[in-house]
Amino acid sequence: MSLLLYYLIVLPFSYLPLGLLYKLSDLLYFFFTFIFPYRKAVILGNIQRSFPEKSDVEHQLLLKQFYRHFTDILVEGIKNLSISKNQLKKRMQVRNPELMQELYDEKRNVILVSGHFNN
pLDDT digits 0-9 by tens, 5-32: 899 989 999 999 999 999 999 999 999 9
Q: For the packed helices 56-79 and 18-30, what is the interaxial angle rounded to 10 degrees?
A: 140
C-alpha pair distances (Å), 16 with each of 8, 23, 39, 63, 75: 14, 11, 28, 28, 10
Using 50, 70 and 90 to split pLDDT, how confident is the model at 40? Answer: very high
Q: What's the whole-model pTM score?
A: 0.76
DSSP 78-111: HHTTT--HHHHHHH---S-HHHHHHHHHTT----
Across 77-97, average pLDDT: 87
pLDDT tens for each residue of 72-86: 999 999 999 999 999
**Domain ranges across the chain:** 2-92
Using 50, 70 and 90 to split pLDDT, how confident is the model at 113? Answer: confident
Across 45-71, average pLDDT: 96
C-alpha torsion angle, residues 59, 65, 68, 70 (rounded to 10): -80
